[in-house]
């Protein structure tokens, strides 16, 4: 199971083993990592699982779909590294992935 | 009023109750937490039951809000297959269906709602289905497949999502709706006719303005339905999706204030300061619309779980949210923000013929609600406009060449 490091806005780190096939969002929610709300449970309908993907991981995590991009367009504190974590599937390739969380999800 | 050592008893282990238990630990609550659920399984997401899960695109594990071990690991006493049968508010105890009782310092009623059962002959036949719980969904899944015929009573979101999933699995679907149009209770006419046409193109049949008078059976099993127009479509199963009623009996019996659900304040507190109520069962204030309302939605359950977790752990109350809803049918993503209370104008942005449009409900120059089909910018910007109560330029809003960023600026 790939290890993913989730870093809260205040710097608190959570290192979690996430089953492949789950999304990066599910990895956080199922382990009660704070900072990712995921109101819609992964339907790409709410933008409350907004995260920042470290530069080094951008390629491996792929690029956002048009739907995801237009949701992100209206999220707060969006940066070039912004993604919706429900749209990133965990694969063995993502061993060591580092994800940072914004201050809030609304 | 916060007490870090309080024993919190949560009645109901649905999306609201399960989320509250997890949030309390996330926010550092030190006291005991007991989570009591009627169903045999740990809290799970209900929305996929009519969508991805029904179509076989999601498994039981992915439905679970958190893995079962999570509760023990976080010192949450999760007690499945158990019901709270009564409250003694003076003694602060709850009576349980196994004959025992449990004391509490703070109690939260998160008992949800249940499908309305039609008072017609035949509802106890084998093959009469509902869609609320995972067990309900299992039965529905077993009933739909290539060549099977499903009658769906009720043209609301449950009915339409089930129809879409039934078609995806090769089953026939006929939807019977009492009102002259679909989604009559929850959406505008433009949206109703759009969804009807879209479903018809996918092979769903509709009978509108008709009610089911009898569910017919052969040998104890559903064989068809008799409608008020005299027709008798045959079917192998009948799904009843005609709305839900709040499970507020516990609150009524305990003498708490109830209306259409348990009356709560902005902290989700009931008329008893030691008792909260959250999720589908709560009749809650909606400051944006200056009224009380009962909402059946996951975002509402989560918002209220957050309110209670903050109140119990002494955190500042979370910012108010705009109610919102979503529905997936075929390749359509419907996102709704707000409730169209008091709207005096309806504005369609985009072209329904392209399956990419949004319907704005306006009160003067304020957005009250937006229904967005495959249009995330309209949904996201609309939600912001509803929250901020800012006036909007109707001309810009109506012109889909003006970006929603500019409309909302």
**Nearest residue of chain A to residue B64 (CA atoms):** A30
Confidence of residue B1 (pLDDT cuts 50, 70, 90): low
Helices and strands (H and E) in chain A: how many: 3, 5
For position A76, what pLDDT does the model report? 86
d(CA A53, CA B91): 52
Q: Does domain B8-114+245-313 have CATH number 3.50.50.60?
A: yes
Stretch B173-197: mean pLDDT, rounded?
Answer: 93
For position A46, what pLDDT does the model report? 87
User: CATH assignment of B331-408?
Assistant: 3.30.390.30
Is B299 in contact with A39 (Cβ distance < 8 A)?
Answer: yes
Parts of chain B belonging to CATH 3.30.390.30: 331-408
User: H helices of A62-105, where?
Assistant: 66-72
**From the list A32, A74, A106, which residue is nearest B66 (CB)?**
A32
Per-position DSSP letters for B313-377, written without gaps between them: HTPPPPPP---EEEEEETTEEEEEEE--TT--EEEEEEEGGGTEEEEEEEETTEEEEEEEES-HH
Q: Sort B37 into a burial class: Cβ within 10 Å, 0-12 / 13-18 / 19+.
A: buried
Q: Does domain B128-242 have CATH number 3.40.250.10?
A: no
- Mean pLDDT, chain B, integer: 95
pLDDT, tens digit, 9 for 90 and up, residues B269-307: 999 999 999 999 999 999 999 999 999 999 999 999 999
pLDDT, tens digit, 9 for 90 and up, residues A91-101: 999 999 999 99
DSSP B31: S
Find the helix or strand (DSSP H, E) in which B387 lies.
helix B376-388
Exposure letters A53-82 (e unless 16+ CB within 10 A, then b):
beeebeeebeebeeebebbbbbbeeeeeeb
pLDDT, tens digit, 9 for 90 and up, residues A56-104: 899 999 999 988 998 998 888 999 999 999 999 999 999 999 999 998 8
Please report how many Cα atoms fall inside a 13 Å half-sphere around the Cα of residue A40, on the Cβ side: 27
Confidence of residue B387 (pLDDT cuts 50, 70, 90): very high
Parts of chain B belonging to CATH 3.50.50.60: 8-114+245-313, 128-242
Is B374's pLDDT higher than 70? yes
> Chain A closest CA to B381's CA: distance in Å?
7
Residues of A in contact with B328 (CB under 8 A): 43
pLDDT, tens digit, 9 for 90 and up, residues B224-240: 999 999 999 999 999 99
pLDDT, tens digit, 9 for 90 and up, residues B42-62: 999 999 898 888 888 888 778
Three-class secondary structure assignment of B133-191 = CHHHHHHHHHHCCCCCEEEEECCCHHHHHHHHHHHHCCCEEEEEECCCCCCCCCCCHHH
Residues of B in contact with A67 (CB under 8 A): 333, 376
For residue B322, give the nearest of B278, B288, B372 by alpha carbon.
B288
Is B74 in contact with A74 (Cβ distance < 8 A)?
Answer: no
């Amino acid at each position: 199971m790939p290890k993913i490091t989730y870093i809260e806005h205040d710097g608190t780190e959570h290192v979690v083993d996430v089953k492949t096939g789950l999304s990066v969002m599910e990895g956080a929610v199922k382990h009660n990592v704070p900072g990712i709300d995921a109101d819609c449970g992964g339907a790409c309908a709410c933008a409350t699982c907004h995260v920042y993907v470290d530069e080094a991981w951008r390629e491996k995590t792929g690029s956002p779909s048009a739907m995801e991009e237009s949701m992100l367009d209206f999220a707060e504190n969006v940066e070039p590294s912004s993604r919706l974590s429900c749209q990133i599937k965990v694969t063995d390739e993502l061993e060591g992935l580092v994800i940072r969380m914004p201050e809030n999800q609304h | 009023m916060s007490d870090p050592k309080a024993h919190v008893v949560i009645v109901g282990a649905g999306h609201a109750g399960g989320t509250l238990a997890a949030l309390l630990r996330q926010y550092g609550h030190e006291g005991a937490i007991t989570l009591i659920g009627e169903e045999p399984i740990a809290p799970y997401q209900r929305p996929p039951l009519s969508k991805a899960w029904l179509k076989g695109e999601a498994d039981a594990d992915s439905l679970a809000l958190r893995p079962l071990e999570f509760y023990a690991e976080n010192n949450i006493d999760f007690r499945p297959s158990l019901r709270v049968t009564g409250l003694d508010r003076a003694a602060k105890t709850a009576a349980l269906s196994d004959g025992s009782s449990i004391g509490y310092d703070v109690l939260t009623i998160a008992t949800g709602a249940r499908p309305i059962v039609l008072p017609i002959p035949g509802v106890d036949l084998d093959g009469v289905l509902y869609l609320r719980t995972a067990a309900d969904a299992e039965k529905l899944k077993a009933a739909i497949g290539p060549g099977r015929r499903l009658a769906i009573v009720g043209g609301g979101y449950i009915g339409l999502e089930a129809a879409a999933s039934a078609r995806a699995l090769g089953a026939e679907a006929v939807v019977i709706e009492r009102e002259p149009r679909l989604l009559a209770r929850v959406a505008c006419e433009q949206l109703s006719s759009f969804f009807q046409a879209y479903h018809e193109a996918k092979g769903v049949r509709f009978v509108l303005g008709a009610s089911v008078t009898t569910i017919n059976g052969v040998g104890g099993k559903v064989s068809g339905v008799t409608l008020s127009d005299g027709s008798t479509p045959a079917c192998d199963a009948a799904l009843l999706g005609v709305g839900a009623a709040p499970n507020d009996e516990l609150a009524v019996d305990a003498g708490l204030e109830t209306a259409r659900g348990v009356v709560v304040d902005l902290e989700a507190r009931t008329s008893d300061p030691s008792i909260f109520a959250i999720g589908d069962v709560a009749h809650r204030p909606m400051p944006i619309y200056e009224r009380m309302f009962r909402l059946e939605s996951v975002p509402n359950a989560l918002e209220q779980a957050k309110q209670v977790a903050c109140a119990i752990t002494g955190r500042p109350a979370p910012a108010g949210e705009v109610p919102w809803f979503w529905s997936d049918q075929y390749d359509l993503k419907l996102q709704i923000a707000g409730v169209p209370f008091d709207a005096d104008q309806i504005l369609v942005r985009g072209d329904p013929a392209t399956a990419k449009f949004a319907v704005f409900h306006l009160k003067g120059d304020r957005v009250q609600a937006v229904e967005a089909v495959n249009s995330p910018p309209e949904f996201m910007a609309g939600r912001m406009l509803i929250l901020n109560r800012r006036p909007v330029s109707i001309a810009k809003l109506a012109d889909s060449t003006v970006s929603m960023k500019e409309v909302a600026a």
